[in-house]
């Protein structure tokens, strides 16, 4: 969440930043609620002081042998008034907390303007040219054939589920090992994360309350548990409530997990194949970073994503996402969009976001440095997935006979040299 002290001290700058996201109305609500709860807190503090004075007066009257009835009546009246104001304060605190949780992060000045997906700005293009074919390119479902079985997946679990079989599994595991090897070489620690988390982790990362409809809940769990849509949630909560030391930073993790998304609102969209599924595996980068270096760290994560895409032989463009299309916690986000020959267009492959101190404040993740204890900055970025990475590799490296020639870098991690579906 945003720092309420910053909101109070530099209101107009925060308002101007949030206006880019058309969220200034939420800021006005926060300011009004903050003023009310602070006024109530002043009243409650004054009444508590009066209550203490009244209690002393009753004690003095009794010690002096005087009738303390008047003092006791006054004390009872104070208790009633205090109870009423304390209830009002609790309600005001709750409303303020709810409003603060709804307030999105202030976008960075370099994030693209606009409220729509199409307002994203092209930031860079890969060195590799767009693949050209002397034949009509197939899509991943045709190339994978029986090894990408969406029909049996739907029969088992419903739409947007699939079985991956045979060489497609070997290809996916090779991409995982390739990504982990690269990230470990760059100082990331591999983590196998839990896929079930408590509500506080989803609130802490900013997915709740806004994206609740996208998350699967385990209703019979006590407390209620939720399936993660990304290991970002579990990685961000790794140091929840902790104070790190400055010399530990940055702490970089790469999380390997299955991910689950309801894809609410995506009915009829990307229904063919495995581009948009309810379950997939992913390697996610996550960094706990010193606030003064988080923008350098953001560019580092982007460079790693580009390096992975380059190594896989993909053509892509990097998009600076418009502020209106940012997730609530992000101050800036880059998407890498790969060219998918089977679709004949660019589609999102990976993304990386700087959430500044927004998640760290909600999770109370801090560090101790020369200037005392401060909140960390957190960043996240996708390395590979078992859906879109597979699609991009299959469609980019297809051959005229319907086979796929797998990049050598993946063969060294166990992928077959060629994938050929039965026809």
Q: What is the CATH number of the domain that holds 31?
A: 1.10.287.40
Predicted pLDDT of residue 250: 97
Which stretches of 293-407 are assigned E, i.e. beta strand?
Answer: 316-320, 332-340, 345-354, 366-369, 372-375, 377-385, 404-405
Q: Are residues 24 and 139 in the same domain?
A: no
Which residue, among 252, 10, 381, has the nearest Cα to 18 in the 3D structure?
10
Residue 110 counted as domain residue: no
Domain count, the chain: 2
Exposure of 408 by Cβ count < 10 A (0-12 exposed, 13-18 middle, 19+ buried)? exposed
The pLDDT of residue 61 is: 75
Tell me, yes or no, whether 347 lies in a domain.
yes
Tell me which residues of the chain have a pLDDT lower than 50: none
Peptide bond before residue 386 is cis, with ω within 30 degrees of 0: no
**Whole-angstrom distance between the N-terminal and C-terminal Cα of the chain?**
54
The reply to whether 74 and 139 lie within a common domain is: no
Domain boundary among 102, 126, 147: 102
Task: Report the interhelical angle of 11-19 vs 24-63 (nearest 10°).
Answer: 140
pTM here? 0.93
Residues 347 and 279 in one domain: yes
Is there a single domain that holds both residue 64 and residue 158?
Answer: no
Residue 246, pLDDT score: 96
Residue-range definition of the domain harbouring residue 25: 4-102
Same domain, 280 and 336: yes
167 and 263 both lie in a single domain: yes
Structure tokens at 420: 């050929």
Query: 123 with 240, same domain?
Result: yes
- What does the H/E/C string look like for 11-75? HHHHHHHHHCCCCHHHHHHHHHHHHHHHHHHHHHHHHHHHHHHHHHHHHHHHHCCCCCHHHHHHH
**How far, in Å, CA of 179 to CA of 307, rounded?**
10
Residue 109 lies in a domain: no
Among 39, 67, 102, residue at a domain's last position: 102
- Residue-level pLDDT at 349: 98
In a domain, 111, yes or no: no
Residues with Cβ within 8 Å of 162's Cβ and at least 6 positions away in sequence, in order, are 148, 149, 150, 153, 273, 274, 277
Residue at 212 is within a domain: yes
Residue in 305, 266, 259, 265 with CA at minimum distance from that of residue 285: 305
284 plus 382 within the same structural domain = yes
Active-site amino acid positions:
261, 276, 348, 351, 388
pLDDT reported for residue 112: 97
Q: How far is CA 333 from CA 34, 61, 166, in A?
A: 30, 68, 35
DSSP assignment of 245-296 equals: EGGGPPEEEEEEEEEE---TT-TTSS-STTSS-SEEEEEEEEEEE-GGGHHH
- The b-or-e profile of 90-129 (16+ CB within 10 A means b, else e) is eebeebbeebbbebbbbbbeebbebeeeeebeebeebeee
The reply to whether 132 falls in a domain is yes
Contact call for residues 192 and 257 (beta carbons, < 8 A): yes
Tokens found for residue 190:
């591999």
Q: What is the DSSP letter of 201?
A: H
Same domain, 345 and 411: yes
Q: For residue 185, what are its two tokens?
A: 């070489």
Residue 321 belongs to a domain? yes
Which of 102, 132, 153 terminates a domain? The answer is 102
Bridge-based pairing of strands 366-369 and 243-245 is parallel
Q: How much is the pLDDT for 67?
A: 79
pLDDT at residue number 71: 74
Shared-domain flag, residues 165 and 256: yes
Residue 107 lies in a domain: no
| 201, two tokens | 């982790």
CATH at 321: 3.30.930.10
Residues 306 and 171 in one domain: yes
Residues 397, 303 share a domain: yes
């Amino acid at each position: 969440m945003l720092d309420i002290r910053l909101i109070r001290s530099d209101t107009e700058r925060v308002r101007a930043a949030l206006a880019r996201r058309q969220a200034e109305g939420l800021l006005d609500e926060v300011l009004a609620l903050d003023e009310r709860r602070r006024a109530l807190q002043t009243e409650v503090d004054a009444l508590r002081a009066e209550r203490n004075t009244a209690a002393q007066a009753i004690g003095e009257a009794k010690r002096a042998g005087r009738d303390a009835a008047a003092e006791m009546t006054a004390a009872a009246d104070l208790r009633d008034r205090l109870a009423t104001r304390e209830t009002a304060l609790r309600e005001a605190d709750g409303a303020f907390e709810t409003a603060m949780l709804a307030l999105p992060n202030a976008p960075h000045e370099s994030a693209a303007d606009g409220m729509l997906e199409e307002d994203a700005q092209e930031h860079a293009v890969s060195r590799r040219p767009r693949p050209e074919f002397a034949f009509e390119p197939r899509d991943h479902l045709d190339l994978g054939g029986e090894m990408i079985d969406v029909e049996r997946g739907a029969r088992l679990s419903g739409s947007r589920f699939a079985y991956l079989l045979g060489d497609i599994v070997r290809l996916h595991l090779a991409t995982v090992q390739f990504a982990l090897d690269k990230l470990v070489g760059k100082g990331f620690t591999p983590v196998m994360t839990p896929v079930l988390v408590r509500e506080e982790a989803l609130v802490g990362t900013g997915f709740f309350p806004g994206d609740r409809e996208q998350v699967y809940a385990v209703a019979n769990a006590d407390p209620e548990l939720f399936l993660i849509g990304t290991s970002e949630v579990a990685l961000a909560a790794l140091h929840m409530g902790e104070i790190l030391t400055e010399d530990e930073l940055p702490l970089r993790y790469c999380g390997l997990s299955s991910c689950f998304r309801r894809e609410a609102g995506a009915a009829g969209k990307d229904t063919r194949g495995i581009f948009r599924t309810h379950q997939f595996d992913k390697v996610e980068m996550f960094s706990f970073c010193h606030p003064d270096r988080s923008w350098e760290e953001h560019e580092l994560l982007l460079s790693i994503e580009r390096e992975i895409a380059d190594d896989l032989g993909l053509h892509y463009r990097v998009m600076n996402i418009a502020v209106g299309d940012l997730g609530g916690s992000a101050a800036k986000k880059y998407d890498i969009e790969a060219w998918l020959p089977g679709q004949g267009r660019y589609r999102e492959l990976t993304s990386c976001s700087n959430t500044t101190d927004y998640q760290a404040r909600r999770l109370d993740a801090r560090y101790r440095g020369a200037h005392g204890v401060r909140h960390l900055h957190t960043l996240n970025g996708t390395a590979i997935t078992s859906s879109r990475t597979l699609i991009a590799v299959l469609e980019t490296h297809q051959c005229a006979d319907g086979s796929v020639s797998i990049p050598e870098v993946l063969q060294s991690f166990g992928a077959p040299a060629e994938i050929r579906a039965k026809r």
